A = this chain, B = another copy of it.
Amino acid sequence: MARPLTARQQTVYDFIVKTMAEFGYPPTRAEIARALGFRSPNAAEEHLRALDRKGVIRMIPGTSRGIRLPASGNESEPAEPQSSGLPIIGSVAAGSPILATEHIDRYCPLPADYFSPSADYLLRVRGLSMKDAGIFDGDLLAVHRTQQIRNGQIVVARLDDDVTVKRFQREGSRVTLIAENADFEPIVIDLELQHLEIEGLGVGVIRGGNGSGLH
């Protein structure tokens, strides 16, 4: 719909962009004229009209510095990686893999490497078994997928098709999953008798995302 800008129009447009980046507001006709050597502000006005016709700027009539740059490519700041974000996992059905699509509630627009080690997904925690570790019902636990866990770290584990978040403690073949809440008993597992699947390591917590607020 719009023909390409002429060389002169491009110069005017560039000056507008540069001015807005430098000062935080658009130039006046007189400022454009001064910068480009016009002796009349009307020359700038006509260029602005042309740029408006071609859709690269929008003029707001009767308004000083009333120039807007509509949906344009933002070139002042280094572009954000803008990955799709971390998937938020709601309830996990028995026996199905955690990252199955049907568990994905929504996405959290945070880069995976915001946490370290990097997060692979966010798990919505149910219950208060980790409240003394500051993980409450409804909180999102950032999880790094790994089987390498050291004692005392917080893990996402699967026990009999049940996904839980607990503190991990291992001595030989005996693993203890400790709740951070006096009301919950530790769970003791003998790896030679029972299977324990480690889904990942807790690397962060987010609370309050999307209306859940702070209680």
Q: Chain A: residues with CB nearer than 8 A to chain B? A: 20-21, 23-26, 28, 60, 64-69, 71-80, 83-84, 108-111, 114-116, 131, 133-136, 139, 142, 153-154, 202-211, 213-215
| CB atoms of A208 and B23 under 8 A apart | no
Complex CA–CA separation, A80 to B28 (angstroms): 24
> Residues of B contacting A206 with CB < 8 Å?
204-207
Complex CA–CA separation, A211 to B118 (angstroms): 9
> Residues of B contacting A67 with CB < 8 Å?
24-25
> Residues of B contacting A108 with CB < 8 Å?
110, 114
Instruction: Kindly provide the distance from the CB of A123 to the nearest chain B CB, expressed in whole angstroms.
Output: 13
| CB atoms of B24 and A208 under 8 A apart | no
Q: Given A108-B114, A111-B109, A208-B142, A78 and B83 touching (CB < 8 A)? A: no
> Residues of B contacting A23 with CB < 8 Å?
60, 68
| CB atoms of B75 and A76 under 8 A apart | yes
A214 touches which one: B20, B71, B83, B202 (CB < 8 A)?
A: B202
> Residues of B contacting A78 with CB < 8 Å?
68-69
Instruction: Kindly provide the distance from the CB of A94 to the nearest chain B CB, expressed in whole angstroms.
Output: 26
| CB atoms of A208 and B203 under 8 A apart | yes
> Residues of B contacting A116 with CB < 8 Å?
210-211, 213
| CB atoms of A214 and B154 under 8 A apart | yes
Instruction: Kindly provide the distance from the CB of A97 to the nearest chain B CB, expressed in whole angstroms.
Output: 19
Q: Given A136-B134, A214-B154, A64 and B28 touching (CB < 8 A)? A: yes
Complex CA–CA separation, A154 to B136 (angstroms): 16
| CB atoms of B74 and A209 under 8 A apart | no
Complex CA–CA separation, A54 to B78 (angstroms): 19
A135 touches which one: B25, B28, B134, B202 (CB < 8 A)?
A: B134
Q: Given A110-B110, A116-B213, A213-B116, A71 and B75 touching (CB < 8 A)? A: no
Identify the closest chain B residue to A60 (Cβ): B23
Identify the closest chain B residue to A114 (Cβ): B209
> Residues of B contacting A208 with CB < 8 Å?
115, 142, 202-205
